[in-house]
Structure 1
Amino acid sequence: MSASNELRPRPLLSAGAPVSSLGLLVAAVAGIALVALCDLFSLFAGFRLLAVFDGDGGFLTAPQQELDAATALYATSGRYQNIVYLPAAIVFVVWFFRMRRDTGLLAPDRFRNGPGWAVGAWFIPLVNLWMPYRIALDMWGAATLLPAEDERYRARIWPVNLWWGLFVLVSLFNGYQEIKYKNAASLLEIRDAVVQYMIADVVRVAAAAAAMYFAVRLTTMQRFKAFEGPFRSVVVKDDASA
């Protein structure tokens, strides 16, 4: 028979322990999902544009009417991406700030910067390539349950690393690809730019999936710790009653 024993007293958090908002999480995840859908539409438009080209090597041809229609669809997909990105980013930053505030109340000693940086860090050039990641790591650590007695402390941070690595890769790649596509003059240059844009779209979809997982996992961890207390409970086997 097995029994659940707490090897260390687990103090409860105060009655006013913060619990993160599920509504804000749903809004943030929905915004990210909409961005991913627009990226998938851009991929479809890219495949359609590539299908118009005929030829190989350094010489390409394309029927003008089909090229115009495919180019117009591709431009439309780009407009959709631009339209949905800003509101989705705003909602995500609001969620990020609220999560920083809530996890900060759970474990204030784990943070190196004040809550305001959870917003400001996104808008400072160069700083926005590393400080939000550092804040995310602090939040992840604050929301992670502490180990029970004699249990090794292991905070698995791969969701944070995966999300941020893909986000930075997309951020650096986007500007370069946009300039390259706008400056493309020949059909060959247009095709090469579209192919690289499609690769960026795939990475953006992966980054969106990683961001949704990060947001859901962190919110779940924060709520569980707020309800259950800071320490992990363990299950041990009772040999005497076996």
Structure 2
Amino acid sequence: MSASSELRPRPLLPSGAPVSSLGLLVAAVGGLAVVALCDVFSLFAGFRLQAALDAGGGFVTDSPQELEAAASLYETAGRYQAIVYVPAAIIFIVWFFRMRRNTGLLAPDRFRNGPGWAVGAWLIPLVNLWMPYRVALDMWGAATPLPSEGERYRAPIWPVNAWWGLFVFSVLFNRYAEMKYTNAVNPTAIKDAVLQYMAADVLHIVAAAAAMYFAIRLTTMQRIKAVEGPYRLAVAQEPSA
């Protein structure tokens, strides 16, 4: 037969420990999804511009009108990316701050910095390349249930590492592509710069997906710990009689 047992009683969390809002999570994930969709549109426009620049590729004719239309579409895609990125970033940072405040009530001893850093860390140049990751790692640890007595358990932190690594790399690579595109003075250089931008768009899409997974996982962990208590339920399997 099998039985479930808790090897250590689970004390109550501090009074007033809130459950994270699903509405704010949906808004943050929705903003990231819109950003990813704009990146997909930019990829399509990039392919079209690459084809128009490739006179011998056989995809389209090399007429000036078609090249101008492809370049205009690509610039439009870039404007859409810029327009949606700012509100999506603001919504994500609001979610990030609220999550820092809520997880801070679950395990205040797990944090190395105050809750204000959940916003300020994004705004300081250079510091924003690593400080939000530290805050996220502390939140992840605070939302992770403690192991019961006699149990060895540690939640994997790869969702935090994957999200932050992809995010930083995509930002830096995008700046490199922007520099290449700005300095391009001939069709060959423009083609190469557009190719770099397209690679940056792919990174943005993957980074957005990683950010969505991170946000959903962290919110789920926080809600479970706030409702069920700080200790992980240990399930002991006994041999059948």
Bucket of the pairwise TM-score, normalised by the shorter protein? over 0.9
Paired positions, count: 238
1:145 and 1:62 map into 2 onto residues whose CA distance is 61
Conserved? CA contact 1:2–1:235, under 8 Å: no
**1:33-91 Cα distance to aligned partner (Å, 9 max, x none):** 000000000000001111113357xxxx9321110000000000000000000000000
TM-score w.r.t. the length of structure 2 is 0.95
Q: Cα–Cα, structure 1 residues 54 and 172, in superposed 2: closer, same or farther, change >3 Å?
A: closer
Residue by residue over 1:175-218, the C-alpha shift from the partner in whole angstroms, topping out at 9 and shown as x without a partner, is 22112212211110110000110000000000000000000000
Cα deviation per residue 1:119-159 (whole Å; 9 max; x = unaligned)?
Answer: 00101011000000000000000000111111113221000
2:73 corresponds to 1:67: no
Within the alignment, does 1:39 sit opposite 2:39 as a pair?
Answer: yes
* Partner Cα distance (2:157, 2:180) in 1: 35
More displaced stretch, 64-73 vs 12-21: 12-21
SS in 2 for 1:112: coil
Residue 137 of structure 1 aligns with an amino acid whose one-letter code is: L
The Cα offsets for residues 81-129 of structure 1, whole Å up to 9 and x where unpaired, read as 0000000000000000000000000000000000000000101011000
Deviation at 1:26, TM superposition (A): 0.4
Q: Please name the residue that 2:7 is paired with.
A: 7
Corresponding letter in the other structure for 2:228: E
1:182 aligns with 182
Does residue 1:84 correspond to 2:84, yes or no? yes
RMSD: 1.5
Q: 5+ unaligned residues in a row in structure 1: which ranges?
A: none
Normalising by the residue count of structure 1, what TM-score does the alignment of the two structures yield? 0.95
Q: Partner residue of 1:141? A: 141
Higher strand share: 1
Report what 2:28 is aligned to. Answer: 28
Q: Indicate the percent of aligned positions where both proteins have the same amino acid.
A: 74
| In the alignment, structure 1 residue 98 sits paired with structure 2 residue 78 | no
Distance 2:76 2:117 in 1: 35
Contact 2:14 2:105 (C-alpha < 8 Å) held by counterparts = no
Amino acid at match of 2:136: A
1:3: how far off?
A: 1.2
Q: Name 1:112's counterpart in structure 2.
A: 112
